[in-house]
């Protein structure tokens, strides 16, 4: 934290343009899946650039508790291009190699961990119990339990809706599931269960959600069918270990892209950012808003996620509209996009954003309250988040209510506020981006 920070709080040490080059943490979504697929595969999977966030550590701890052997390689691995990557190895247990845990699996704050493991454990013939922190226990689990039950899993929820979750796994049958929401976690849970189900398992979504699971299934040797918003697999085929290089997390990069766009005189270069088209909604939205973004696509190996080096600079922004079909591509970036919208000419509308209400916190309400603490107007109409602009921000004190993305969005907003600002509980950024506040301090201190 900055030198002028009190315990459990952060304030900008200086107000100056942001300049420099940085690499954001490994993509959180890809990191979770790399660990899980490596544990289920035959052979040893090497993973470079794994996210160091607490959510991904929750997935690792749960897999180890289920008998997976995950090894830290220690020294950084140097690539021919001169980049340094941390590397771990997951020694796969194979399709039926996971073992029952005598202890409850603690998923921490990670919705991805608990929901994807619900899918994995539904197909394993032993009982399991999963839980998480108070925030996770408030998030909806019935939407995942229902299709898994239709496949033959026995699942109990604490109150019919939430964790803790009890699972009696076993023989499953494939289903054709039509999802009421576009959710990569829900889709992935069903597909992971489908790996051990008899016959075909398919998921049809109302709009395309992020496709990291489909890509990784193919990377690990499985045939995957796709048509429109439908994806399907056939159960019984083994996964084969494959090396994974985790790209930079676009959700983490979004804070720096917006910061560069709204802080006068700023210019930042971010290297190796994931530009998967099912995740890059925030880049598309900022480009429509007139952001000065320069993307240089990098060469990647077969089966790897697309990546680019992105340069962002201070820009004169205009308002945009995010459609309900586009929203799943930027669901995690909505709070920081709302900060950008306060500096744009016109009224920005993020439509169909109901999923924000069931994240780590009610991010719809949290974003409005965060902006209000800076004296900015934002409102909710139905499932739409509306932010007029441009607005001058005032200094304020922001309590993110333990939501890492609200905390980081507030830190960016503080850079353009007129007057001193304080972000409480900056440590909640450990969930996804442990180095965020130290990196921001370093940029501000020159």
Q: For residues 413 and 394, what is the distance between their CA atoms, to the nearest angstrom?
A: 9
CA distances from 9 to 5, 55, 242, 394, 436 (A): 6, 22, 42, 18, 14
DSSP assignment of 24-39: PPBPHHHHHHHHHHHH
Asked if omega into 187 is within 30° of 0 (cis), the reply is no
What residues are annotated to the active site?
A: 332
Within 151-232, where are the H helices?
A: 184-194, 212-219
Neighbours of 14 (CB within 10 A): 12
Q: 320: number of CA atoms within 13 Å, CB side? A: 22
Phi/psi class of residue 301: alpha, beta or left (left: φ > 0; alpha: ψ in -120 to 50)? beta
Q: For residues 161 and 164, what is the distance between their CA atoms, to the nearest angstrom?
A: 10
Which residues, including other chains, have CB under 8 Å from residue 3's CB and lie 6 or more apart? 13
* Nearest-10 crossing angle of helices 28-40, 212-219: 40
CB–CB of 407/426 below 8 Å? yes
């Amino acid at each position: 934290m900055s030198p002028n920070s009190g315990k459990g709080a952060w304030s900008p040490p200086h107000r100056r343009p942001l300049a420099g080059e940085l690499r954001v943490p490994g993509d959180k979504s890809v990191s979770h899946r790399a660990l899980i697929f490596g544990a289920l595969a035959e052979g040893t999977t090497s993973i470079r650039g794994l996210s160091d966030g607490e959510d991904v550590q929750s997935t690792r701890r749960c897999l180890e508790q289920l008998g997976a052997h995950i090894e830290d390689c220690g020294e950084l691995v140097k690539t021919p291009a001169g980049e340094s990557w941390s590397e771990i190895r997951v020694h796969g247990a194979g399709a039926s190699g996971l073992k029952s845990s005598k202890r409850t699996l603690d998923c921490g704050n990670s919705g991805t961990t608990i929901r994807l493991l619900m899918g994995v454990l539904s197909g394993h013939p032993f009982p399991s119990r999963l839980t998480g922190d108070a925030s996770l226990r408030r998030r909806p689990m019935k939407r995942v339990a229902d299709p898994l039950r239709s496949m033959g899993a026995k699942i109990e929820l604490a109150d019919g809706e939430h964790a803790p979750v009890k699972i009696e796994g076993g023989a499953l049958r494939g289903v054709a599931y039509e999802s009421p929401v576009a959710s990569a976690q829900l889709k992935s849970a069903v597909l992971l269960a489908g790996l051990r189900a008899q016959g075909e398992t398919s998921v049809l979504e109302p709009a395309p959600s992020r496709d990291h699971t489909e890509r990784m299934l193919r990377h690990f040797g499985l045939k995957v069918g796709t048509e429109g918003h439908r994806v399907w697999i056939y159960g019984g085929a083994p996964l084969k270990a494959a090396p994974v290089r985790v790209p930079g997390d676009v959700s983490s990069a979004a804070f720096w892209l917006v910061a560069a766009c709204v802080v006068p005189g700023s210019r930042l270069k971010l290297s190796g950012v994931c530009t998967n088209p099912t995740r890059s909604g925030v880049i598309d939205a900022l480009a429509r808003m007139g952001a000065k973004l320069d993307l240089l696509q990098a060469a990647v190996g077969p089966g790897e996620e697309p990546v680019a080096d992105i340069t962002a600079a201070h820009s004169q922004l205009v308002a945009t509209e995010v459609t309900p079909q586009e929203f799943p591509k930027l669901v995690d970036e909505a709070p920081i996009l709302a900060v950008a919208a306060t500096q744009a000419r016109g009224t920005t509308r993020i439509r169909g954003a109901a999923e924000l209400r069931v994240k780590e916190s009610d991010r719809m309400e949290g974003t409005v309250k965060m902006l209000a603490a800076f004296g900015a107007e934002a409102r909710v109409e139905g499932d739409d988040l509306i932010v007029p602009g441009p607005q001058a921000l005032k200094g304020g004190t922001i309590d993110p209510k333990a939501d890492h993305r609200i905390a980081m969005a507030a830190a960016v907003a503080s850079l353009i506020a007129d007057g001193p600002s304080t972000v409480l509980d900056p440590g909640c950024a450990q969930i996804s981006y442990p180095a965020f506040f130290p990196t921001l301090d370093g940029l501000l201190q020159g």
